């Protein structure tokens, strides 16, 4: 039977508000936050998650609130849609959890956990719904700022602030063309993997983006690292950032934002369906905002800078 995406959307919005209350009433502490989220069960020394591909680090935080919110979300979804699949950051099992063509909820209970524990106001709940691996509903809610981003495939993307009437994304109704990288505000994240060649590569990309033309760089307007992939993608959908790049995102970081972005006229390059399964190590995402022209040129320019990091 045809899936009623509006009903799915309405449920996700209601869940996002409930999650927001849980998140805002929590008192997280970085002293008590645990590490190694993507290693479950937590190994004693080394991360056994073959897909995470890194040793556990103190930059990969998880709190009791992440786990409690995911439990609430999965139980509400299970009650309403027992026939649909569920992938959640906190219950993902490496090598076992698979993204299939089945209708699937993909959930990050708190995206930007590091910000959450430090009370930096850029964290959110990210609720995606994908059908045949195509992002079909996206709901992202930042409870601190009261910002609710929503999208349904084919029906546009929207932002509502503190319950005010929703505004269509991108917020600028006539987005300017994208000239070249030197005129872009670029979101790029440090991520939690700070080891070896992967880390060196990230640093090299950041340096190339920021450096002056004389020094062989792209000299972008500036770099931002907001600390939440979902909010980064939402910002690109809104037209507040021109580009977002992060190597190493997981399906739950991007599923909801991807729907917003496509509906707002932006594009997600390098992560076409089939290449974004959490069990595939092809987790490279490049988001570019809506633009009457220049989108493709920016993708090419970014790939040239990123090189092997793609």
Per-residue binder mask for ligand LIP (CB under 6 A), 245-284, x = binder: -x------x-------------------------------
CA angle 46, 41, 255 (to 5 degrees): 100
Q: At what angle do helices 64-80 and 5-25 cross, to 10 degrees?
A: 150
Residue 218 and residue 260: Cα distance in Å, rounded? 28
Q: Does 228 bind ligand LIP (CB under 6 A)?
A: yes
Tokens representing 261? Answer: 């972005």
Shortest Å, Cβ 48 to ligand LIP: 18
Minimum Å distance from CB 112 to ligand LIP? 5
Closest approach, Cβ 154 to ligand LIP, in A, equals: 27
Neighbours of 202 (CB within 10 A): 22
Residue 112 in the binding site for ligand LIP (CB under 6 A): yes
Helix (H, G, I), strand (E, B) or coil at 159: strand
For ligand LIP, give the closer residue by CB, 114 or 150: 114
Active site residue 113: yes
Collapse the DSSP code of 18 into the 3-class scheme (helix H, G, I; strand E, B; otherwise coil) and give the result.
helix
Does the annotation list 280 as a binding residue? no
Annotated catalytic, 108? Answer: yes
Does the annotation list 89 as a binding residue?
yes
Tokens 């997981």 — which residue? 250
Q: Which residues contact 306 (CB under 8 A, 6 or more apart)?
A: 205, 245, 247, 286
Q: Is the peptide bond before 10 cis (omega within 30 degrees of 0)?
A: no
**How far is Cα 107 from Cα 101, in angstroms, rounded to an integer?**
17
In the list 90, 189, 242, 263, the residue contacting ligand LIP (rule: CB under 6 A) is 189
* Beta-bridge mates of residue 234: none
> How big is the site for ligand LIP, counted in residues (CB under 6 A)?
13
Residue with smaller CB distance to ligand LIP, 56 or 294: 56
191/239 with CB nearer ligand LIP? 191
- Give alpha helix (H) positions in the chain: 5-25, 64-80, 113-118, 196-210, 229-238, 251-263, 295-306
Q: 60, 89, 193, 242: which is the annotated catalytic residue?
A: 89
- Check 110, 125, 267, 298 and give the catalytic one: 110
- Residue ranges of the annotated binding site are 89, 108, 110-111, 253
Binding site for ligand LIP (CB under 6 A): 89, 108, 111-113, 189, 191-192, 227-229, 246, 253
Which residues are catalytically annotated?
89, 108, 110-111, 113, 253
């Amino acid at each position: 039977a045809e899936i009623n995406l509006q009903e799915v959307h309405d449920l996700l919005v209601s869940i996002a508000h409930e999650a927001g209350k849980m998140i805002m009433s929590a008192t997280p502490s970085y002293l008590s936050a645990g590490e190694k989220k993507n290693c479950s069960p937590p190994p004693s020394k080394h991360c056994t998650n073959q897909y995470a591909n890194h040793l556990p680090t103190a930059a990969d935080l998880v709190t009791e609130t992440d786990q409690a919110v995911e439990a609430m979300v999965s139980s509400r979804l299970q009650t309403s849609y027992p026939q649909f699949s569920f992938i959640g950051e906190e219950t993902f099992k490496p090598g076992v959890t698979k993204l299939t063509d089945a209708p699937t909820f993909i959930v990050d209970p708190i995206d930007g956990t590091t910000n959450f524990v430090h009370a930096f106001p850029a964290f959110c709940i990210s609720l995606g719904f994908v059908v045949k691996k195509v992002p079909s509903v996206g709901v992202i809610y930042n409870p601190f700022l009261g910002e609710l981003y929503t999208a349904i495939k084919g029906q546009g993307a929207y932002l509502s602030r503190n319950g005010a009437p929703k505004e269509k994304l991108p917020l600028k109704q006539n987005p300017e063309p994208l000239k070249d990288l030197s005129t872009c505000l670029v979101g790029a994240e440090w991520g939690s993997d700070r080891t070896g060649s992967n880390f060196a590569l990230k640093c090299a990309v950041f340096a190339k983006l920021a450096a002056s033309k004389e020094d062989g760089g792209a000299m972008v307007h500036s770099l931002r690292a907001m600390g939440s992939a979902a909010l980064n993608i939402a910002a690109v959908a809104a037209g507040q950032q021109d580009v977002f790049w992060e190597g190493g995102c997981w399906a739950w970081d991007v599923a909801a934002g991807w729907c917003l972005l496509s509906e707002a006229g932006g594009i997600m390059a390098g992560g076409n369906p089939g290449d974004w399964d959490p069990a595939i190590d092809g987790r490279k995402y490049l988001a570019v905002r809506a633009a009457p022209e220049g989108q493709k040129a920016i993708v090419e320019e970014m790939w040239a800078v990123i090189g092997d990091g793609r």
